[in-house]
Every structure is written in structure tokens, then in C-alpha cells.
Amino acid sequence: MKKLVLLGFIAILCSCGQSQQEVSETATIISNVNIVDVANGTILENQQIVIDSMIIQAIGNALPDANRYKNQIDANNGYLIPGLAEMHAHIPQPNTPKERSEEVLFLYLSNGITTIRGMLGHEEHIELRENVATGKTLGPRIFTASPSLNGNSVTTKEEAISKVTAYEKAGFDFLKIHPGIQREVFDQVVATANEVGIPFAGHVPVAVGIRHALKSEYASIDHIDGFLEGLVPEDKNVDPTANGFFGYAFTPLADTTNINELVSLSKKHKVWIVPTQSLFERWFAPVTADKLLQQPEMKYMPKATLENWKAVKERYMAEEDFSETQWQRFDSIRKQLLAALNKNGHGILLGSDAPQLFNVPGFSIHHEIDGMLGAGMTPTEILKSGTLNPATFFNMEDTFGQVKEGLVADLVLLEANPLEDIKALKKIQAVILKGQLITKTEIDERLNKIAENASK
């Protein structure tokens, strides 16, 4: 009996020794941190988290051997969230200088965005996606659309079959639908996409209409496109091509009692929605270009881009016969749609359409969040739309989207609790990308350099 006890004691000692030896030289432990559970909107207080080989290895409030880790970070009672996803981003096109492309990717990172879904693709984006994945290029995880499928690029069923097949074979993550496609051609795009196994997302062509689009099971409909047009009663006999800027011209005719029908269709057919509400509160809105140009983040954009944004905004406002009274109604309907789609639809994805007019990459996500708040979404719902929901959308819940053991360490350390005030997302202490720390000092230094380059 004594011999058995002695052997047991020796085994315990050996196991303790092995535990100590298992503390990796490359591991990092973050202590004194509050973890935001985005799934249920709660806080795990005073936690420790171990990261190694890009992965979250352990989480607990008193991890063993905590003082033996070579790399230690004191979070100083900060709040840790999963990295955010910008689900309607634009990746610089091939004619963009390499330095500027890398700057744009960093602008996303500087705001805690560790995943982007590029919405207008090019073959070179596939290579960029791989370079980011392997660490050759610093940037957020990339999902990339195909080149645009629109009324000019795909005009026949034969073209639809050819291009959809080619884009899937090339390795694009999904197809980008733009306006102008005729219905029979659109149906062929859908049939071929389903056959070869590639999802499609984006705009709703006028000839297709929102109800047929939803029944066709888009992966996501962006901008809440087509929904306002779908609120116009059939007996109004409108010319669908006279809808104006995302249905603005039909605002006086919209019947909001039809919202529930469209929301139910979106849920039935599992269509995600990317609102890009900021687009309609900045580009097409009663705020002047000059006022928008005074915002601090504009210093990160080249002067030529800013001049173009101003010209385009002023032209659109004139061409659409803009009325602030009508815009107020337009905006109200959009927010009603967003609120209903959030409450009873399939799900909302965070996306601002950057860098579209006056939406500076990374920074524009905060304007989008303001729009979501204005539609009645809670901080928890907004956080989920930019973390867990994108992971679910991509069927990658086992890879990212939460602060959870076994997931990739794409994380953002904040000074304050975003569940209490979502503006805490602007108060970044550090971004952790695949386990690698990017400090606030490093972020600021890089942003200063980007601003300097943009001013030239």
C-alpha cells in the first residue's frame, strides 16, 4: 500500500514537471482582461488568455504557470473582443500602387477589422488573399468576390454559364451581382452557381425584383437593395426603372405594411442583409461634401480621391432632385426595414461599403454602427453582426468570430466595455492579428505615415 502511494506521489510530481515543460517559448499570456462574449452579450471578468501558434490555447481566471510565460501582456482591466468583419469592403484594384494597397489594408486593421469581404474582385485579389493568409502581406483575412456580373458583362445565358463556371474555377469566394442583368440571364447565373457550388451576393437587378431575388437565395443582399421598391403596391403601376437611387424616387409610394412579407421571405430563404446604412447618411444625405471632408479620417485618403468624392456627391444630389423632406421619409423607411430584418429576418452583417464616397476604410464602420443604433439595434446585436454572424455566414464558426479556445487569435483590446457604450470600439489599446500584437503606438505611427503619404 505504501508502495502504491509512493508511486502515485511520484506520478503527480512527474505530471507537474511535464506541465511546466509545456509552457511554450512562443506563447503569450494576456492577464487582467475582461472578455466580451458576443454570443450572449455578457462579460467574463478578470480572465487570462494564452495564445500560441496563432490560436487561442486557453482561457481562465487563474491559469497554471501564468508567471512562467516569457511573453506577458497586462490588459490593465481592458475589454477583449473578437476582431471585427467589414462585410462590404473594397480591395484596391490592380492599378493601385502596392504601397497604397497595403495602406488600405492597414486602415481596416487600425480599427480592429481583421476580416474583410471584398465586393468587387479581380484575379490579383486571389493572390493577395493568399499572401495575407501566409503572412507575406499584413492585412485582414480576405474573402473576395468575382468581377462584376452586370447588364453589360453578362447579357446572355451562354455568357452566364461561361463566366460563373470560370469564376468558380479561378477560386473566387463568391459572385458579385450588380444592376442591369435581365431576369432570364439572372436565373441562368443562379442555376449555374448552384450547379458549380459558388454563392452569389450584392445588388438586386430591377428586372429581377426583391421577391424573386429572395426566393433565389442570395447569400447576402447588400444595401437593403430592392426592398423599398418591393414596398410599392402593384396597383401603382410604376416603371421599375424609374426607382432612382436605391428606390428613393418611389419613397412617396412605399407601403410599409408590406415590410413583414419581405422580412419573412428573407428568413425563409436564409438571406443575410448587409445594410451599408452609412452610405445613405453620408453620400446621399442632407450633409454637405465640405462638412464631410472636414472629418479627421479624411486625411488618410489621397487628395484626388477626396475631390472625386465631392464631385460625385454633388452630382448625385442634383440628378436625383434631392429633397430633404423626402430623404427623411426615405431614411425612416430604410431604418424600419433594418429594424425588422434584424428582429425577424435571417440575420444582419456589419458592412459600410468602404472606400465608397466619404467612407474611409476602417473608420467608416463607426458611421455604420451609428446608423444601426439609429435603427434600434443594441450594442450586443451590432457586435454580433460584425463577429459571430460573419463567421456563421462563412461556415467558419470553428475558426473566428468569438474569443474562444481553439479559434484563431484575431482580437481587439479596448479601453472600455462596448456593451455599455458601443463607441468603445474606437478606444483601441491593441489589435492582435493571428496572435501577433499590434500596439496602439504602432498603429498611430503607421497612421501618421499614411496621412503623410496621402497629403503629397
Query: What's the CA angle centered on 107, arms 105 and 108, to 5 degrees?
Result: 70
Q: Which residue has the higher pLDDT, 43 or 16?
A: 43
For range 141-164, the mean pLDDT: 98
For range 56-66, the mean pLDDT: 95
Grid-cell match 448552384, residue found: 194
pLDDT at 99 over 50: yes
Per-residue pLDDT tens for 376-393? Answer: 999 999 999 999 999 999
* Nearest of 171, 176, 226 to residue 197 by alpha carbon: 171
**Given this model, what pLDDT does residue 348 score?**
98
Per-residue pLDDT tens for 323-380? Answer: 999 999 999 999 999 999 999 999 999 999 999 999 999 999 999 999 999 999 999 9
pLDDT at 8 over 70: no
| Dihedral angle sign, alpha carbons of residues 287, 293, 294, 296 | positive
**Given this model, what pLDDT does residue 7 score?**
39
pLDDT band at 63 (very low <50, low <70, confident <90, very high): very high
Q: Which residue has the higher pLDDT, 11 or 411?
A: 411
* Nearest of 238, 251, 241 to residue 322 by alpha carbon: 251
For range 209-221, the mean pLDDT: 98
Residues 206, 287: Cα–Cα separation, whole Å: 28
For range 209-229, the mean pLDDT: 98
CATH class label, 27-82+401-456 = mainly beta
Per-residue pLDDT tens for 295-308? Answer: 999 999 999 999 99
Residues 286, 322: Cα–Cα separation, whole Å: 9
Residues 6+ apart with CB under 8 A from 152: 180
Query: What's the CA angle centered on 402, arms 400 and 404, to 5 degrees?
Result: 95
Cβ atoms of 393 and 349 within 8 Å: the answer is yes
**Given this model, what pLDDT does residue 22 score?**
77
Query: Mean pLDDT in the chain?
Result: 94
**Grid coordinates representing 229?**
421598391
* Nearest of 424, 272, 265, 248 to residue 349 by alpha carbon: 272
Listed by start position, the domains of the chain span 27-82+401-456, 84-397
**Given this model, what pLDDT does residue 319 score?**
87
pLDDT band at 320 (very low <50, low <70, confident <90, very high): confident
For range 161-172, the mean pLDDT: 98
Residues 368, 366: Cα–Cα separation, whole Å: 5
pLDDT at 3 over 70: no
pLDDT at 10 over 80: no
- Which string of b and e fits 61-79 if b means at least 16 CB within 10 Å? eebeeeeebeeebebeebb
pLDDT band at 321 (very low <50, low <70, confident <90, very high): confident
DSSP state of 73: E
pLDDT band at 397 (very low <50, low <70, confident <90, very high): very high
**Given this model, what pLDDT does residue 375 score?**
98
pLDDT at 13 over 80: no
CATH superfamily name and code, 84-397: Metal-dependent hydrolases (3.20.20.140)
pLDDT at 17 over 60: no
Asked whether the bond before 418 is cis by omega within 30 degrees of 0, the reply is no
Lowest mean pLDDT among 63-72, 81-90, 339-348: 63-72
pLDDT band at 6 (very low <50, low <70, confident <90, very high): very low
**Given this model, what pLDDT does residue 101 score?**
96
Residues 307, 285: Cα–Cα separation, whole Å: 18
Grid-cell match 502504491, residue found: 4
pTM: 0.94
**Given this model, what pLDDT does residue 9 score?**
37
**Given this model, what pLDDT does residue 29 score?**
97
pLDDT at 201 over 80: yes
For range 223-242, the mean pLDDT: 97
Residues 195, 190: Cα–Cα separation, whole Å: 8
Determine how β-strand 42-52 pairs with β-strand 55-60.
antiparallel
Intra-chain end-to-end CA distance of the chain, in Å: 82
Phi, psi of 438 (to 5 degrees): -120, 110
